[in-house]
Amino acid sequence: MPLFSIITISYNEKDRIGKTLESVYQQTCQDYEYILVDGLSTDGTYQIIEIYKEKFSKKCVNYITISEKDSGIYNAMNKGIKLSKGEWLIFLNAGDYFCEENVLKQIKKYLSKGTDIDILCGDFIAEICDLYKYMHVPKSSKQTWLNLLNHPYNHQSTFVRGNLMKKDLYDEGYKIAADYNFLLSSYLKKRIFIKINIPIAVFAIGGISTSNMIKACEETLKIQYLQRAISKKEYIDKRKQLKKYKVWIWFKDSIKKLLPEICLKVLYKRKGYTKNFESIIKGSFNK
């Protein structure tokens, strides 16, 4: 049994899948299997995936690929979970990539300490307009879990025990926030979360559409209510707040679409983003 199962899902990501594949291939720890679930891409994505089969074979890494239609992102993720054999699972979807070649090596050190944990989460790097920012993930608490706009964890930086994921597959009734549904459920069941101060992956926030951001907020609120994390009154109050927030999202994103990229870069630099990726992760890894 491998220690890690890395799962990548893709659909027509020819221009971005290579960076994901290469970041996994470059990992110094080889105690993993790599599962790629493609949604029957038509742009050559799967052909790129197949090219890497021989490279991973030479590293003696089990490289599993399928390409077939799915009913959505979480349907594809569930296929990957069912195929997995690793003790720990992480999703690194097309376009995401490990921020350093020693990520798995460092995580293995934490797991070998004998701590009884169910879910391990690190920090991540946000990427937009070729600029980067280190994002510190907060410790798990009720306050952080009930924040509609900033979920405490994301799947690019989260390692979950494989047996837990196979027991509680993603609810495919959700289109955007099924991973949040799984993690919130795990928190409410008092599963053991561990937070470590290591950046795991790079996540391109520029790929999130306005409609998806709003949909994510709506699903998040629904999940909080259905899991009884908030009362009916809190649910009604938050729905009112969300209506106002929708207007703000549309307005803000409409303005951004009118701005040239150079202006956007100035805007994000003022928010702490930088071009110097290496300086962000410097000192995070012991080589």
Q: Which CATH class is domain 4-281?
A: alpha beta
Residues 6+ apart with CB under 8 A from 111: 3, 88, 117, 120
Rounded CA gap, 85 and 32, in Å?
Answer: 9
Top pLDDT among 215 and 158 is at: 158
Q: In terms of Cα–Cα distance, which of 57, 62, 79 is closest to 10?
A: 79
User: Domain locations in the chain?
Assistant: 4-281
Q: Which tens digits make up the pLDDT trace of 240-278?
A: 988 888 888 788 778 877 888 888 899 899 999 999 998
Rounded CA gap, 9 and 17, in Å?
Answer: 10
Residue 287 confidence (pLDDT): 47
Task: Kindly state the average pLDDT of the residues 129-153.
Answer: 81
Residue 207 confidence (pLDDT): 62
Q: Which tens digits make up the pLDDT trace of 179-206?
A: 999 999 999 999 999 899 999 999 988 6
Residue 76 CA from chain centroid, whole number: 14
Task: Kindly state the average pLDDT of the residues 14-41.
Answer: 96
Q: Which tens digits make up the pLDDT trace of 79-118?
A: 999 999 999 999 999 999 999 999 999 999 888 766 689 9
The mean pLDDT of the chain is 90
Q: In terms of Cα–Cα distance, which of 144, 159, 133 is closest to 271?
A: 133
